[in-house]
Each structure stands twice: as structure tokens, then as C-alpha cells.
Structure 1
Amino acid sequence: MEFDVLIVGGGPAGLAAAIRIKQLAAADGHDLSVCLIEKAAEIGAHTLSGAVMDPRALTELIPDWKARGAPLITEVSEDRVLLLSETGARRIPNGLLPDCLLNEGNYIVRLGHVVKWLGEQAEALGVEVYPGFAGAEILFDPSGAVKGVATGDMGLMRDGMPGPNHQPGMALHARYTLFAEGCRGHLGKQLEARYRLREGIDPQTYGIGIKELWEVPTSQHQPGLVVHSTGWPMDKATYGGGFVYHLEERLVAVGHVVGLNYRNPHLSPFEEMQRYKTHPEVRRYLEGGKRLAYGARAIAAGGLQSLPQLAFPGGALIGDNAGFLNAARIKGSHAAIKSGMLAAEAAFRALVDARQHDTLTAYPAAFRNSWLHTELHKTRNFKPYMKRGLYLGALMFGIDQLVFRGKAPWTLHNSADHDTLKPAAECDGINYPKPDGVLTFDRLSSVFLSNTHHEEDQPCHLRLKNDMVPITVNLARYEAPEQRYCPAGVYEIVQVEGTPRLQINAQNCVHCKTCDIKDPTQNIDWVVPQGGEGPIYQGM
């Protein structure tokens, strides 16, 4: 199938790009074909975010979004930032907070619902939207430029051979292909390697965000309240923080983020999230409530200095596939939308000029002159500072923002997260309490609430480069940290006739990509399963 523009990924960035191209084409009298494929079974099903949304980019894309019924319902009414100890909390006065932590004019949203609405706007403009189709392979022309992607085969058996319901993938060709796979996109990784997009660039650095959606009693619900916290349950040397967002209809989103540069291999981000809910300042919003949904997702947090080169022959990286999230603001949807718009505008101009498969140099140039670049430049030192420890990092970033206003004459640098683990023997173990099934839960009951499904008789989408490394290195040196950093119980060490072996329960995978990022030997490669599989988040 041939298109003018192909977009891989149906999140905020990909849909914004599709909408913008169609808007420009309609205004200029051009008929351009735009195709968007999404690996989830439906648009928004794999979308997970906190989320407090800055509507600035959405307003640029669709100025009358309110009149069109965009699901931005609950405007932020109050900000609270807490420093937690094990039993107490100290509120930081709002007057001492940097601007990036203030949310006046922003909205607490269920980002999956926003993405679904964006999909409807795209289809109304004539974008061909195909959920349930995963981009599995990049296609290149004879010159080495990207000419599209192939979707994955359906109905393969575990050994890779076609089964009785086999359907071959499709080759989708385009004059330009925009990759909007989200954080740690597996095609994006390949593009970075092939075109050396990270040459001279800091490594990306990540967090893992774990989130639950609760329905709570009216007496505990304060619509529009945004609570952010740092400190307990993390130790002072480990970056992390929690959030409690009060939406409409007695809904509360609660979550916890752990920086994946943590050092102690005994640490479990999932268990840290469960402990977080037991703090008096958090549990008071949840007691008597009911947990409705669960999910987890890696978060690109490196900032401006970790952005790769954005364009290459035949295509570009947009949204969190490049890493546009602003970790200091705890926001990424507005950045994703803006980056998609900028790439779309560059692609439109190239199409009008009858070009194809060249490098869209206008896209990175437009980004450098945009408000998004200004915003990311102002907070560029956040993650490097926070890697220095809670108190020192917070102090230094506070000085950076309140004294230098984000214009300090230096830029700090990031390092790769997979390099940071210490040997298990050098670290203290962590005694996590057993879940009570009321406020705290285990992994498997949590995965159940994510509506995750994979056909078991298919090739495993979590591939090991060397089958022996999980035992000879990870187990021997780090006590198999994949058992703990995975929030879905995918990895476990089992004994087979007295010999340890890594068992991969790929059917549990919620597509968070943490294993691809944190594995200390970089031995795990996450690739797409069959299209339509994975979690089905209900407005997460």
C-alpha cells in the first residue's frame, strides 16, 4: 500500500502529526494520503500517563477543542508538593516552588480518552487509522532511506512457523514515515543505530511509572487537587516520587515513579508503589475506595541533552520515541503533540515540493526555534541534578530554577541506566510487606486489571541475545533483578532438575519496556507481539 505519509504509533504525537498534515493539505488545496497504524487493539488502549496536561499545544492544533468536546474536564484547582518521611509529611510552600511544578490552567485527564478523541478528529479529516497493526520491520529503498514499514505476521506458532490462521504482514510504503512509537520504541532503537542518531548525544535516561485508578468515597475526593511527593519510600540516593490526582466522578489516579538509574538490585519499583500507598498522606484518599485499573510504562526523562538527531533519510522521530517528555514538569503530552505538529509541517512542505525519502531538516530547525525547545532548555539539568541524591539534587535544581531561571551557563550530562546496578552482595536487601488485598496488591492481580492478553502459542516478543546470560551474569551477580524491575511478573527464575533457568511469561507483559532499558547486560530485546495484543487500558 502506498501513502504520502505513514505514521507508526497512535499516541498524542502520531495523531497530532496526522491531523496537522491533513489540516495543511485542506487549507492549501492538496489531497495527501495519510495512514496511521497502532499496535493496540483500539486507539488509546496502550496509552498510559499520570496525567496533568498542559493544553497549550492542543490549543495550537485544534483551537476549538472545548467546543468539540475534548475530554479535558477537570481543571487543576490546587497544587500540593510534599516531602515524605516514613510516617510524616512536610508541605513545601507554593511560593518556594519553581514554575515547572505549578499547574494553574492545566487539566487532570485520562490520557487514553484524550487520545481516543484525537483519533476521532483524525479520522474525520480523512486519515486512514488502522489499530491492531504493529510496525514490525523498517523498509528501506536502494539508497538506504526509509520507505515505510512492514506490519507483523499474524498467526505464527511459537517456533515461528505459520499456523492455521496465519496472515502475512503488509508492506506500507510512504514518501515520509514518522515514528511515534512512544518511549523506547523498538523501531526507533534500530533507526538510532542505523543512522547513528545518538552520535555525540547523551544516553537517554528513564523512569518507570506505575499507576492505579481508584474510585473513592465522596468525602475523600477533591476534584482538581494535584499532589506530588518525593522522599519516602525511596532512600535519599534514589530518584523517585509519587502523585495523587483527583479527577471527576470520584476518580483518583495514584502512582509512583522510580528512576531506572537506581543501584540496588533488590529494589522493586512495583513494591515501592505499593508501599507508597500506605503512607498516611496517600492512604487517606484511598481508604474505603475500590481499585479499578492498573498499568505501568517507562518514561523518557533525559531532557534536551538526551534528544537524538530527529530526522534521517525518509523519516523522523516524534514524541516520546525521541524523548520529548519534560521530567521536571512531570508532563509529556503537550510536548508530544507539538513535536508531531513540527514534523508534520516539515513533511507537508517537502510533499508540496514533490520531494520524497530525503531528510526533513526543516523539522529539527523548527524545533530549535520553538517554545518547546525553550521549555526543555530551561529544565535540562533536572535529571542530572536529581541523580545526585534527594536533598542535594532538590537544592541544586531549586537554585537552577529560582536563581538562574533555567539559564545557568552550564549543561550537565546523563549516563545510561543499565550501567548503574551494584552487585547484590554489596547492597542491603529490602523487606517488602505482603499485600493486604485491600490497599496493596500483588503483581498478578494487578496485571489482571490491565486487561492484558497475548496468544501464548506465538514467538516470544521478549528476546534474549544470549540464553545463558540471565543465569551466568544476572543471577550470579545481581540475584536476577529482572524478577523485580518488571512490574508484571514476566520474568522468574525456576528450578529444572536442580538447575536454575529464566522463565519468561510473555503473556503477562504490559509493554512498559523496562526490561529493555534496565537489563544490566542489555541482553533483552523487546519487539512487538502480534498486532492488537497487550494491555487494554480503560482511559489510563
Structure 2
Amino acid sequence: MSEVMEYDVVIVGAGPAGLATAIRLKQLAEQQQTDINVCILEKGSEPGAHILSGAVMDPQALTELLPDWEVQGAPLKTKVSADEFHFLGQKGSYKLPHFLLPNCFHNEGNFIVSLGDVTKWLATQAENLGVEIFSGFPAQKIVYGEQGEVIGVETGAFGINKDGTESDAFQPGMEIYGKYTVFAEGARGHLGKELIKQFALDKDADPQSYGLGIKEVWEIAPEKHQEGKVIHTAGWPLDRHTYGGAFLYHAGDNKIFIGMVVGLGYENPHLSPFEEFQSLKTHPMIAKLLEGGKRISYGARAIAAGGLNSLPKLSFPGGVLVGCDAGFLNASRIKGSHAAIKSGSMAAEAIASALSQSRQRDELSDYETSFKQSWLYTELHKARNFKPWMNKGLVIGTLMVGLEQKVLGGKYFWTIHSRTKDAAKLKKASDFAKIEYKKPDGKLTFDRLSSVYLSNTNHNDNQPVHLRLTDPKIPVMHNLAHYAGPESRYCPAGVYEFSEESGDKKLVINAQNCLHCKTCDIKDPLQNITWVTPEGGGGPNYTSM
């Protein structure tokens, strides 16, 4: 029998959205002179351990939530001092004149941050207000009530052997009930995915569109560093039909955050986002900046980039989706932390109002109403066509986004839709020439395993594999036969590889390498791979990412 714990509000995920929800709930409880018991379940070893983002942060939502964040020591120290946008060719680049930059690429008043550090700081603020945070406790299952409403979650057990038996260290999971449950797992949350299907939350939305973001932190020579400078690029090494782009953010202490986002709607199964990112660093403009520097950190994470058109319904009986679990990221601005915090704050206000009326486990329609009346809705509405246009290629996408954002200032009456899921866009390997990527040089470019090492990723080797195949025959019989085994290329951590034994091919899953990026769950052509939570505390342990 599982142990049962009860709270007013249970939050799944100690990222910016979940922590903002908790903080706002406690603020409102203090205003109402009541108490709201709040707990947060975090699958990482600590808040921030699984957080990875560029990141340039718009402080608007944080200022609304915690107006004295600067006095309280929030790690927003590096103010953006310059914006540049470059179109890259293989050898050269074209810098877009600043007056032609659309508003979405203007970062005046924003900050270059480690979102992991911001998350740790938010966790401290939440705990100071009385929020209970249970790190290393993944929410593994949703618990439903007699009427189908969400009543809470069940945490994963510890000490289960790979064969499913219980080890001497076995500890059962706990059932944690809430009057309302908030899901803040980040993009492609495995429980959020279930809820969207269970309650048909996406029946009026476009399919969610994802990108894989890969990031490294470098320490570069002081004479090359320009603190506060923000650079975005488009073009090479990606072809003009593949959505994606790169960023270089000059953070403090001679650090530069360099990364690349590759849209997971790409068609060529030979493409490897990891290798494309390594190629990016060999471009003369970027290589010159990194040469002589030292790579410090590496990580990867899928992002939900569909925007307003792909947002599901936000509430259901007993709970809500917040942050990237719903898909609030503004891909045109390459920003999601402000949207995560704002969505959490709005969800908290709807929950606090319901609790003050002694309601529980009903549907919080006020949350959706608040969103549609907010500045966040206005922002996302202006950018609603960004990803659909960019899905049509770099040239058309750039022209139309420029028209809508720069010329029309986001005021236009048409809406463009994308109706195809990313997984369904992959084409046969025979339709494309194989891409020959250069071997890593160990100076600018690196292999997957040495990169994963820098992420401090760790899983108990004897636990069950948390990457589940619905049909174990599909990887060889279908994916290898038709798509040349794309699992071995779309994963940025070397989790999947094909081996041969006695003349038979088989897929090997190196689950201990998993960065929890969710790319396999998104891009597998037949949706045969399901990511589930591993034992608590496993996965990456990012530092200042």
C-alpha cells in the first residue's frame, strides 16, 4: 500500500513555471490571511539540475511576481548591450542592419542569464515562503478520481532492478493528492502528454511543433569577449528547407553561451542536429571567437515552438498545464522563461480564487480567461504565424516574418496553420544523399560521449530502461529499413545505436546517457518510443546552464 500525502496544491516540476505558481499561491494566501499548503515534486537532484535554456530573459513577468528581485539578489546581472543578426554562408556572413531587425529580435532591457541559476534562486524564494520542494521525486503516474478528475500523482519507486524485481533498497512510491494539481514538466512532459490525450485538450489546436536546442558554455579570451552582446544566426550549416538557427550570448566572466536550435520537423533522416551544431562552430566568424577558449558545459533539451496556434486547452477537472508543458514559448523571440512565470502566476490566481470558495478538483476556466486578457496572449498572438511561415523554408519564412513583424508591427488579420506532426515529416533515406560529417577535432568540435560527460549525467545502471519501445521490432524492421536508423542521429547523447550479432541487427538503448531532452519521444517516425521517468535524481546535473 502506497503512503498517501495530501496538500492543497501539488505541482509537478520545479522549473520557472512551477516555482512561479507556488510563489504566487503563497503570496495570495498571505493577502487573504489564510494558508495554502503547496508541495513541488522535482525529478532532478535539485531545482535547476535539469534546466537548460539559452537564455536571454525578459524580466517583465518576474517583476510582476517579485518586484524587489534585484534587491533580493536574483541572478540577472548581465544586461543586453547589443543585438546582432547574421545570415551565414559556409565561409562568410551577412549582418542584417540594425534598423531592419524585427521587434522580436530587439532585446533592450533584457538579461543574459543562466536559467538554471535563476531557477535555484526562485526555489529559495519559494522555500522561504513555506513551499515544500521534494527533489529527486519524479511524478510517475497521474491518479484519477471516480469521475475521471485528476486528484494527484504517484511518485516513482526506488530500488527496482532492471528485470522488474525489487532490490534490497526498494522503496515504494507515494500517492500525493491535491485539491488541484499543476503540471509544469517542461516541453513534452510525459504526464502533460497523457493529459492532453485523456481530455482531448488539443482538439482545436495545431499539432505542437518542436525544436531540439543544443547548448555549450565556453570560457573565451577576455579580448574577444563583449559582455552583454547577443548574436543570432540563420542559414549554414542547415539547408534552406530546414528550420533552425544559432545563438551566441556573451554572459559575464568571459563566458559565452553558444547553441543551436534545429526544428524537429526536418525531412532528411540523415541529418544529425548534434553534428550540425558541431559544424556550426567551424564557421570562420564563430571559430575565431572560440579558438583558444575552453568548453565547460554541454546539454540539450527539446523546446515547444508551435506558439499560440498549438496551445492546448489549459485546464481540465482537477488541474492545469503551465509553462512549456502547455507550450507557452515565443519562438519568434526565442524566449519562454517570462511566459512560464506569467502562466504560473495566472494559474495560481485561478487556484487561489477557487480554494477561497471551498472548491476543489473542478475545472479552472478562470485561468484560460485570464490568459486571453493578458499581455502574454497579446505577445503570442502577434507571433502566431512565426513557426508556420518558417516551416516553409528560410527564404519565404524570413520575408513573411519580416512583413508581419517589422512592416505591420504584428497587426495582421490572417492566421497560417501547420497540420502535420514533426514525426510524420521524416522522409525515406533513399530520397536524400547521405550527409558526411567531419570527425571531431577535440578543440572546436567534439563527439557525443565526451559532451555527455560535461553534462554530469548519471543513472543507476540496474534500473529499468526508461525509454520504452511499444514494439521492439520497429527500430530494425521499419526505421532502419526505411530511414537508415534515425535514432542514432537525432539523439544528442548517443543513447541509441544499432549493433549486429550473428548477422542480426538490433537497437541498443544506452539509457544511462539520456539527457531527458525528449527528442526520441517526439521524432520517432512511428511514435514507438515513449519516455517515462527514471529513478529520481537521475539524468543531467547541469551547472549554470
TM-score exceeds 0.5 = yes
The answer for the alignment partner of 1:343 in structure 2 is: 347
Q: Structure 1 CA distance, aligned partners of 2:321 and 2:462?
A: 33
Q: Structure 1 CA distance, aligned partners of 2:204 and 2:503?
A: 47
CA RMSD of aligned residues (A): 0.6
Alignment partner of 1:514 is 2:519: yes
Residue 407 of structure 1 deviates from its aligned partner by 2.3
Alignment partner of 1:368 is 2:356: no
The answer for the alignment partner of 1:453 in structure 2 is: 458
Opposite residue 486 of structure 1, the aligned amino acid is C
Opposite residue 539 of structure 1, the aligned amino acid is S
Opposite residue 230 of structure 1, the aligned amino acid is A
1:170-193 Cα shifts (integer Å, max 9, x gaps)? 110000000000000000011011
Contact 2:204/2:312, CA 8 A, preserved across alignment: no
- 403-412 or 143-152: bigger deviation: 403-412
Residue 496 of structure 1 deviates from its aligned partner by 1.2
1:2-40 Cα shifts (integer Å, max 9, x gaps)? 100000000000000000000000111011100011000
- 1:428 paired residue among 433, 458, 468: 433
Q: How does 1:205-220 map to 2 (within 5 A)?
A: 205-220=209-224
Q: Structure 1 CA distance, aligned partners of 2:238 and 2:168?
A: 50
Q: Structure 1 CA distance, aligned partners of 2:409 and 2:312?
A: 25
Opposite residue 246 of structure 2, the aligned amino acid is G
Q: Structure 2 CA distance, aligned partners of 1:359 and 1:213?
A: 42
The answer for the alignment partner of 2:475 in structure 1 is: 470
Give TM-score scaled by structure 1 length. 0.99
Q: How does 1:193-342 map to 2 (within 5 A)?
A: 193-342=197-346
Q: Structure 2 CA distance, aligned partners of 1:403 and 1:91?
A: 19
- 2:533 paired residue among 528, 533, 536: 528
- 398-407 or 338-347: bigger deviation: 398-407
Give the secondary-structure state (helix, strand or coil) at the position aligned to 1:298: strand
Identical residues among aligned pairs (%): 59
- 426-435 or 313-322: bigger deviation: 426-435
Q: Structure 2 CA distance, aligned partners of 1:216 and 1:155?
A: 43
Opposite residue 221 of structure 2, the aligned amino acid is P
Q: Structure 1 CA distance, aligned partners of 2:269 and 2:119?
A: 35
Residue 401 of structure 1 deviates from its aligned partner by 1.2
The answer for the alignment partner of 2:145 in structure 1 is: 141
- 2:412 paired residue among 408, 414, 420: 408
Q: Structure 2 CA distance, aligned partners of 1:272 and 1:513?
A: 19
Residue 404 of structure 1 deviates from its aligned partner by 2.4
- 1:377 paired residue among 356, 377, 381: 381
- Give the gaps of 5 or more residues in structure 2: none
Q: Structure 1 CA distance, aligned partners of 2:157 and 2:165?
A: 10
- 1:109 paired residue among 89, 108, 113: 113
The answer for the alignment partner of 1:124 in structure 2 is: 128
Residue 217 of structure 1 deviates from its aligned partner by 1.0
Aligned length: 540
Q: Structure 1 CA distance, aligned partners of 2:388 and 2:152?
A: 36
Alignment partner of 1:62 is 2:66: yes
Residue 315 of structure 1 deviates from its aligned partner by 0.1
- Give the gaps of 5 or more residues in structure 1: none
Q: Structure 2 CA distance, aligned partners of 1:463 and 1:56?
A: 40
Residue 140 of structure 1 deviates from its aligned partner by 1.0
Opposite residue 491 of structure 1, the aligned amino acid is Y
Q: Structure 2 CA distance, aligned partners of 1:512 and 1:329?
A: 21
The answer for the alignment partner of 1:95 in structure 2 is: 99
Residue 200 of structure 1 deviates from its aligned partner by 2.3
